[in-house]
Structure 1
Amino acid sequence: MKINVLDTTLRDGEQTPGVSLTSNEKFRIAVKLDEIGIDYIEAGSAITSEGERDSIKEITRQGFNAEILSFSRPLKGDIDYCVECDVDAVNLVVPTSDLHIKDKLNMSHEELIDLSNNAIDYCKDHGLSVELSAEDASRSDKDFLKSVYSDAIEHGVDRICVCDTVGILTPDSSFELFNYFKDFNVPVACHCHNDFGLAVANTLSAIKGGATEIHTTINGIGERAGNTSFEESVVSIYRLFPQFSTNIKIDEIYDTSKLVARLTGVYIQPNKAIVGENAFAHESGIHSDGIIKNSATYEPMTPELVGRTRKFVIGKHMGTHGLNNRLKEIGLNVNDNQLKQICEDIKELADKGKTVTDVDLQVIADNVLEINHEDRIKLDEVTIVSGNKVMPTASVKITIDEEEILNAGVGLGPVDAAINAIKSLDVFKDIDLIEYHVDSITGGTDAFIDVIIKLQKEDKVVSARGTEADIINASVKAYIAGVNRLLGD
């Protein structure tokens, strides 16, 4: 059975505290949503502002395959703005719980039904498809809710949606609720919130109960604890419920997730299912060994399915099989005794609380293999001048291939100035700093600073680290260590 997906990232997702998308950002997300096979895109709420309407109009002009909707209250003014934006349909939201009808709207049940029916008629008279969403449906009287839906169907509504507005459903109660409405002759949609962390589970139960459409947001963003996660729902349907299907291009899920995270500024937790950075990362020796022999041992799906790649993390839980695999990736072949010693050295380092980077691994392996690489670049001295009225300026003395070089640079801060003084030299050309992270290892003003960076040259990426009481020295040393690694390879 086909399950349709309505994505509300541009409306409900934008209600995430601190998120405000520009028209161009909304357009870029909408393009991607259409590309990956979303059936319905809720582009925004036309009543919100002139800027919001301009954003919606830009989307509706594109002739996407997806149906474009605007959120609307059951008011003529809201609907007129939807017509102005030339949307295909409206997500007509009508409160149905006594808490909303009586306390918020101060209406009777009969007045609410009349309001809903009149709004549907007005939409249909203006050529709009209508999805009627019952707000707070999960706390509504089921018989009254059924009356609202039945009247709506008689007035020509195209789809109905059951909204768990405050996320109080459980998988069992979700199944029962949607099973109650499964005999309607229009599609039934599910809109869940994640207040108790059950949005995806409730959405999947709704499908089993008879829902044929789900509302989601990319990365599960949204107000409070967020909405139903698009990626978790779609991949779960694909992998766990073979009797159902969607139109989604699953191998583009990760790219879509990263795009939305970047444009909204909403951080993706590392352990988030499907799209988190740790979702396909393995450190445990037992797991790494099993994965190398057969990925199905410790992965319920291949990372390639969702546009990801697998990675083995270096740490104290890593076993020799995973470590040997990582060593081969960086071009080192070792015998069993050498592998065992490298593994022991890594565990010793990790036991001290140190994150083991590729550079650390290279150094440890070099020591065990008795390979003495002479670094091409060495830092001799760095001096900083900075103040309230002085642009931070750095002078550095470094040795490159036995040649002593002096150089200077300016920057927004002392670290930026020091790095700029170095990377302006020819040997650092085509090397990009793609990640910079700082941690304070100890407390107090004399704390040791741990700087971890990632550098990229063409398709090669390495990480490096510098630990000093001085953040500038730590940053410069980390940068030069990474460059030495890149140049050495």
Structure 2
Amino acid sequence: MNIKILDTTLRDGEQTPGVSLTSLEKLRIANKLDEIGVEYIEAGSAITSEGERESIKQITSQNFNAEILSFSRPLTVDIDYCLDCDVDGVNLVVPTSELHIHEKLNITNEKLIDLSNNAVDYCKDHGLIVELSAEDASRSDTDFLKTVYLNAINHGADRICVCDTVGILTPDSSYELYSQLNDLPVPIACHCHNDFGLAVANTLAALKGGASEIHTTINGIGERAGNTSFEECVVSIDRLLPQFSTNVKINEIYDISKLVARSTGVYIQPNKAIVGENAFAHESGIHSDGVIKNSATYEPITPELVGRKRKFILGKHMGTHGLDNKLKELGLNVDEIQLKQICDDIKDLADKGKKITDVDLQVIADNVLEINHEDRIKLDEVTVVSGNKIMPTASVKITIDDDEILNAGVGLGPVDASINALNDLELFKDVNLIEYHVDSITGGTDAFIDVIIKLQQGDKVVSARATESDIIKASVKAYVAGVNRLLRD
């Protein structure tokens, strides 16, 4: 069975706290939704504001393949605004639980049915497609729910939708509810919320119960804990439910995920399924080795399926197979002894709480392989004297081209004094420290310090870094490393 998708990123998704999309952002997202094969796009809620209506009009003017809908209450004023936006249809939302009918609307069940029927009549009289969504359907009496649906269908509703408004269904109860409704003569849609983290599971169970349409948002954004995740549902249907299919271009899922994240400012948790940055990342040596030999060992799908790339993460859990693969990506070939040394150096840094980056890997590999150079300057020792009444004074012992040199300097602080002791030497002339950045990479008074500097000499600019428990030693090591790089360049 082919499953249709109504994406409500632009309406329910935009109700995420703190999110407000511009007309241009909405148009870009709608364009991408249409491009990747979504059948129905809920472009917004026309009653909301003039700006919202202008956004919807921009989308309806594009002649997309997708059906464009607006959210609407069962009120003539809402429907008129929808008509003014030239939408194809409405997502007509009608509360059906006792709580919503009596406490929120303060009307009777009979009045609710009349309200629903009259709204459907008005929509159909004006040429609109109607999908009638029962709000809080999962907490509604099933017999009454069915009565509302049958009345709406008799008045011309084209589709119906069961809304789990506060996300209280479980996969079992979802399947049971849809099984009780699957004899209705129009397509049934599923609209789930993720309050208990079950939106995707409940949606998949609804399909097995008889639903033929699902409501989703990109990245699962939405009020409270969000809505059913588009990407998780689509890929699950494609790979786990062979009896169902969608028209979505799966290889473009990551692109639209990133587009929505950038537009909304709601960024994706690293371990989120399918689109999270860690979804296809491997650090464990056992996992990396297995994936290199056959990706199916530790990946249920290939990253390329959804427009992603696999990553091997540098850290203390890594093994030599993943490291060797990473080095080859950087164009570095090593023998077994060099590979083990690089691996040990990385693990040593990681044990100190350092997050290992590609820059760190290149520096470590450079040191182990001694690629195309031998450093002219080697730091042997740094000694600093400082106090309340003593100007900070540093003595630095270095080796330049096999000659040991001891020099001293003073400065405003111990780091400044140490750098000044070096700057008196000929090789350090005309070197300018243009950036100096310090990070504490572990906690406590014994924290490891990561120093990153940028040096300039003439028109040459280089960066260097060093990590030590002593900020003075780290600063001097980074400075010496930078000058060595300038000399090589």
| Alignment TM-score, normalising by the size of structure 2 | 0.81
Pair 1:108 & 2:108 matched = yes
- Kindly provide the CA deviation profile for residues 310-335 of structure 1, in whole angstroms up to 9, marking residues without a partner as x: 01011111111111111111122222
- Kindly provide the CA deviation profile for residues 91-129 of structure 1, in whole angstroms up to 9, marking residues without a partner as x: 000000000000011111110000000000000011100
Matched residue, 2:123: 123
Question: CA contact under 8 A between 1:358 and 1:464: conserved in structure 2?
Answer: no
Aligned partner of 1:284: which letter? S
Question: CA contact under 8 A between 1:97 and 1:139: conserved in structure 2?
Answer: yes
- Secondary structure of the 1:291 match is helix
Q: Could you say if the C-alpha distance between residues 370 and 48 of structure 1 is closer, same or farther in structure 2, counting changes exceeding 3 Å?
A: same
Aligned partner of 2:140: which letter? S
Matched-pair identity in %: 77
Q: Could you say if the C-alpha distance between residues 337 and 187 of structure 1 is closer, same or farther in structure 2, counting changes exceeding 3 Å?
A: same
Aligned partner of 1:6: which letter? L
- Give the length in aligned residue pairs: 432
Question: CA contact under 8 A between 2:354 and 2:441: conserved in structure 1?
Answer: no
How far, CA to CA, are the matches of 1:111 and 1:437 in structure 2? 68
How far, CA to CA, are the matches of 2:319 and 2:197 in structure 1? 34
Deviation for aligned residue 1:352: 1.2
How far, CA to CA, are the matches of 2:375 and 2:92 in structure 1? 66
Matched residue, 1:276: 276
Matched residue, 2:22: 22
Deviation for aligned residue 1:467: 5.8
Question: CA contact under 8 A between 1:357 and 1:465: conserved in structure 2?
Answer: no
Matched residue, 2:203: 203
How far, CA to CA, are the matches of 1:124 and 1:451 in structure 2? 68
Aligned partner of 2:95: which letter? P
How far, CA to CA, are the matches of 2:174 and 2:33 in structure 1? 27
Deviation for aligned residue 1:448: 6.8
Matched residue, 2:8: 8
Matched residue, 1:43: 43
Question: CA contact under 8 A between 1:124 and 1:130: conserved in structure 2?
Answer: yes
Deviation for aligned residue 1:372: 6.3
How far, CA to CA, are the matches of 1:166 and 1:283 in structure 2? 37
- Secondary structure of the 2:191 match is strand
Aligned partner of 2:35: which letter? E
Aligned partner of 2:352: which letter? K
Structure 2 residues not aligned, in runs of 5+: 377-410, 412-421, 454-462
Q: Could you say if the C-alpha distance between residues 330 and 146 of structure 1 is closer, same or farther in structure 2, counting changes exceeding 3 Å?
A: same
| Alignment TM-score, normalising by the size of structure 1 | 0.81
Deviation for aligned residue 1:367: 3.1
Question: CA contact under 8 A between 1:27 and 1:58: conserved in structure 2?
Answer: yes
- Secondary structure of the 2:260 match is helix
Pair 1:151 & 2:123 matched = no
Q: Could you say if the C-alpha distance between residues 125 and 443 of structure 1 is closer, same or farther in structure 2, counting changes exceeding 3 Å?
A: farther
Matched residue, 1:246: 246
How far, CA to CA, are the matches of 1:437 and 1:132 in structure 2? 58
Matched residue, 2:457: none
Q: Could you say if the C-alpha distance between residues 246 and 267 of structure 1 is closer, same or farther in structure 2, counting changes exceeding 3 Å?
A: same
How far, CA to CA, are the matches of 1:447 and 1:332 in structure 2? 32
Query: Which consecutive segments of 4 or more residues in structure 1 shift more than 3 A?
Result: 370-376, 402-408, 436-444, 446-453, 463-470
Question: CA contact under 8 A between 1:90 and 1:129: conserved in structure 2?
Answer: yes
Aligned partner of 1:293: which letter? K
- Secondary structure of the 1:317 match is coil
Matched residue, 1:369: 369
Question: CA contact under 8 A between 2:137 and 2:162: conserved in structure 1?
Answer: yes
Deviation for aligned residue 1:452: 8.4
Q: Could you say if the C-alpha distance between residues 6 and 19 of structure 1 is closer, same or farther in structure 2, counting changes exceeding 3 Å?
A: same
Matched residue, 1:194: 194
How far, CA to CA, are the matches of 1:349 and 1:438 in structure 2? 14
Question: CA contact under 8 A between 1:253 and 1:306: conserved in structure 2?
Answer: yes
Matched residue, 1:302: 302
Matched residue, 2:341: 341
How far, CA to CA, are the matches of 1:307 and 1:13 in structure 2? 23
Matched residue, 1:316: 316
How far, CA to CA, are the matches of 2:114 and 2:438 in structure 1? 58
Aligned partner of 2:34: which letter? D
Deviation for aligned residue 1:447: 7.7
Matched residue, 2:391: none
Pair 1:325 & 2:317 matched = no
Deviation for aligned residue 1:349: 1.7
Aligned partner of 1:329: which letter? E
1:249-268 alignment to 2 at 5 Å? 249-268=249-268
Deviation for aligned residue 1:202: 0.3
How far, CA to CA, are the matches of 2:243 and 2:92 in structure 1? 30
Question: CA contact under 8 A between 2:218 and 2:231: conserved in structure 1?
Answer: yes
- Kindly provide the CA deviation profile for residues 272-324 of structure 1, in whole angstroms up to 9, marking residues without a partner as x: 00000000000111111110110011000000000000010111111111111
Matched residue, 2:181: 181
How far, CA to CA, are the matches of 2:431 and 2:10 in structure 1? 52
Pair 1:232 & 2:250 matched = no
Matched residue, 1:89: 89
Q: Could you say if the C-alpha distance between residues 43 and 407 of structure 1 is closer, same or farther in structure 2, counting changes exceeding 3 Å?
A: farther
Q: What root-mean-square deviation, in Å, do the aligned CA atoms of Structure 1 and Structure 2 show?
A: 3.4
Deviation for aligned residue 1:405: 5.4
How far, CA to CA, are the matches of 1:54 and 1:113 in structure 2? 32
- Secondary structure of the 1:252 match is helix
Q: Could you say if the C-alpha distance between residues 13 and 404 of structure 1 is closer, same or farther in structure 2, counting changes exceeding 3 Å?
A: farther
Question: CA contact under 8 A between 2:440 and 2:447: conserved in structure 1?
Answer: no
